């Protein structure tokens, strides 16, 4: 089971609403952008990275305890929102790590404003179209539940479980999980979890880029991950063995060294 270490969450006023922000550690700032299922607290990956960096892990607008912000209803809007936030926090050029949906947002940030990103890490990211229009590239965990859902997310669902709506969840986490699922579909439903134009724009990324992938990801395959990396000039690809869609949770001891070495 993935455990939260500490919460570290504060509510920060932003233009048009409020942003739930987890922050800890010292050193160079690193912005972590979560995936569709959001943050589950101050997680082990946060704690490990915070040993060497100033970790900034917001919940996207509409996720966790962050409010939905008027005028922000696409991933394109989220990219510009974070560009404004980074400038306001005086963090540009920034080191950005994106997971799943957050990887899509991170790539859109780097495409729109290449000079705003110093180093980029994409972890099992969605966001591009690889095959033809009739072939599904990205699995849909939103249409399954229970063991089938856990089996899509993890290589070893017996050892790891994602929090899913149910009577055993602590009320605050239950509310956050429900909001996360709703907001993921709000931003990524049509077309499903990708921008048809993004892949042809990835050549605009100029920052050193690391693409990290779980070797047994059942949401977005290794083939998809390698295509993502190959579309970014000079990107380096790292496979994390014995991991599904969440290598940062399932194989944190293998994930952390690869990412820390790159970010430093």
Q: What is the CATH number of the domain that holds 108?
A: 3.40.50.1820
pTM strictly above 0.85: yes
C-alpha pair distances (Å), 61 with each of 18, 71, 182, 263: 8, 11, 12, 26
Q: Report pLDDT for 167.
A: 85
pLDDT at 1: 36
Nearest to 136 by CA among 186, 193, 215: 193
Q: What is the pLDDT of residue 248?
A: 98
Domain extent, residue 69, equals 4-263
User: In a structure prediction context, what are the per-residue pLDDT tens digits for the chain, which is 264 residues long?
Assistant: 344 455 789 999 999 999 999 999 999 999 999 999 999 999 999 999 999 999 999 999 999 999 999 999 999 999 999 999 999 999 999 999 999 999 999 999 999 999 999 999 999 999 999 999 889 999 999 999 999 999 999 999 999 999 988 888 888 888 999 999 999 999 999 999 999 999 999 999 999 999 999 999 999 999 999 999 999 999 999 999 999 999 999 999 999 999 999 999
Q: Which pair of structure tokens corresponds to residue 137?
A: 């590239």
**Using CA atoms, how far apart are residues 9 and 89, in angstroms rounded to an integer?**
17
Exposure of 239 in the CB half-sphere (CA atoms within 13 A): 12
Angle ∠(223,185,246) on CA atoms, nearest 5: 45
In this structure, what are the phi and psi dihedrals at residue 248, rounded to the nearest 5 degrees? -70, -15
DSSP lists the bridge partners of residue 125 as none
Neighbours of 251 (CB within 10 A): 19
Domain count, the chain: 1
What is the four-CA torsion angle of 249, 31, 75, 233, rounded to 10 degrees?
A: -90
Confidence (pLDDT) at 168: 85
């Amino acid at each position: 089971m993935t455990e939260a270490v500490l919460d570290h969450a504060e509510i920060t006023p932003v233009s048009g609403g409020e942003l739930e922000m987890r922050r800890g550690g010292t050193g160079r700032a690193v912005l972590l952008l979560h995936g569709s299922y959001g943050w589950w607290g101050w997680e082990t990956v946060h704690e490990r990275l915070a040993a060497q960096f100033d970790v900034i892990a917001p919940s996207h607008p509409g996720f966790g305890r962050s409010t939905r912000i008027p005028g922000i209803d696409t991933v394109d809007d989220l990219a510009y929102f974070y560009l404004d936030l980074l400038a306001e926090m005086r963090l540009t050029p920034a080191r950005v790590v994106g997971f799943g949906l957050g990887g899509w947002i991170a790539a859109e940030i780097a495409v729109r404003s290449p000079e705003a990103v110093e180093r980029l890490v994409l972890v099992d990211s969605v966001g591009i179209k690889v095959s033809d229009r009739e072939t599904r590239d990205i699995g849909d965990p939103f249409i399954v539940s229970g063991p089938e859902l856990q089996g899509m997310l993890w290589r070893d669902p017996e050892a790891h479980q994602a929090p899913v709506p149910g009577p055993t969840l602590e009320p605050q986490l239950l509310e956050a999980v429900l909001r996360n699922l709703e907001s993921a579909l709000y931003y990524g439903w049509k077309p499903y979890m990708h921008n048809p134009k993004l892949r042809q724009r990835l050549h605009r990324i100029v920052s050193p880029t690391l693409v990290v992938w779980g070797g047994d990801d059942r949401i977005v395959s290794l083939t998809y991950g390698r295509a993502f990396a190959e579309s970014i000039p000079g990107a380096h690809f790292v496979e994390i063995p014995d991991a599904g869609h969440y290598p940062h949770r399932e194989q944190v001891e293998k994930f952390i060294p690869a990412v820390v070495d790159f970010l430093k």
